[in-house]
Amino acid sequence: MNKCIITKDLLEDAKPGELLYEGTTTDSAKGINMNRTGKTIRFVVVRGEAPDWVVYCGPLDWSIDKIAMHGDKVIGRQNLENIVAFDYEVAKMYRY
């Protein structure tokens, strides 16, 4: 899986609510560890209002829009580092 690289410039240049990246991973310790099902799940990275950013995930059969609106918010730095690349400054901009 190619990781999306989230930078401060990317966040500042993006519009509020803009989809920055979407992808799939496993529901496991090597992906996004939500329920440890081992199933493939879809995730989206969205720019917030501040500028900040957030990652939501949901079932593979959900649309990107549905995940952005109704998905589970991904928490835990390790979960985030498994799917996107970011530095310390960008980590502080994550909306928990």
Q: Specify the length of the chain in residues.
A: 96
pLDDT of residue 46: 97
- pLDDT above 70 as % of the chain: 99
The tokens of 20 are what?
């920055």
Whether 32 is in a domain gets the answer yes
Whether 23 is in a domain gets the answer yes
**Structural domain boundaries enclosing 26:** 4-91
H or E stretch including 68? helix 64-70
Whether 50 is in a domain gets the answer yes
Whether 96 is in a domain gets the answer no
pLDDT of residue 68: 97
CB atoms within 10 A of CB 31: 21
- Please give the distance of CA 12 from its chain centroid, rounded to a whole number: 17
Q: Which parts of the chain register pLDDT below 70?
A: 1
Q: How far apart are CA 91 and CA 85, in angstroms?
A: 10
pLDDT of residue 91: 96
Please state the domain count of the chain. Answer: 1
6, 44 in Cβ contact below 8 A?
no
Whether 85 is in a domain gets the answer yes
Whether 31 is in a domain gets the answer yes
